[in-house]
Amino acid sequence: MCSRTWTSVEGGGGAGKTGRLMAIELDPEEHEVSALVALVPNLRRSHVVEVGCGDGRLTRRYAARAGSVFAFDPDEAAVDVFRSQPLPDNVGLRSDTVDRVEILPGTVDVVLLSWSL
């Protein structure tokens, strides 16, 4: 799966010029996932909570290496994009805010906040 985001590129040159969108690949070398695996050597047995999962760009990349994942984001449109492709079996997903999600003590090994702050 290719991870891409879209950014606006100004159409310089004066009046009448319009901006355009340009695709940018995010982390094609998978440095994010490699760093996560290096930091959490027992990731395959870990219960991960991802705060601010957005469209699942990162979640889909590491989920196969995790025991289980609970991912959430307050942006319903982003979560709908995430849901537009089948979810990995070990991923739970919902649209919600951090103050409304209840995580019981001792049930999580790793919490990810990639790009959430």
The domain that holds 106 is classified in CATH as 3.40.50.150
CA of residue 13 relative to chain centroid, distance: 36
Amino acid at 60: R
State yes or no: pLDDT of 68 exceeds 80: yes
**Is residue 57, in this structure, part of any structural domain at all?**
yes
**Is residue 85, in this structure, part of any structural domain at all?**
yes
- Judge whether 4 and 23 are in contact, CB under 8 Å: yes
**Is residue 74, in this structure, part of any structural domain at all?**
yes
* Separation CA 23–CA 76 (nearest Å): 23
Question: Of 29, 63, 31, 27, which is closest to residue 48 (Cα–Cα)?
Answer: 63
- Percent of the chain whose pLDDT exceeds 70: 72
State residue 5's pLDDT score.
Answer: 47
Count up the domains in the chain and report the number: 1
Q: Which domain holds residue 67?
A: 4-112
Q: Where are the alpha helices (DSSP H) in 1-117?
A: 31-39, 57-62, 76-83
The pTM (predicted TM-score) of the whole model is 0.73
| Tens digits of residue pLDDT in 11-57 | 444 455 555 655 556 666 677 788 888 888 899 999 999 999 999 98
**Is residue 117, in this structure, part of any structural domain at all?**
no
State residue 1's pLDDT score.
Answer: 41
- Judge whether 20 and 44 are in contact, CB under 8 Å: no
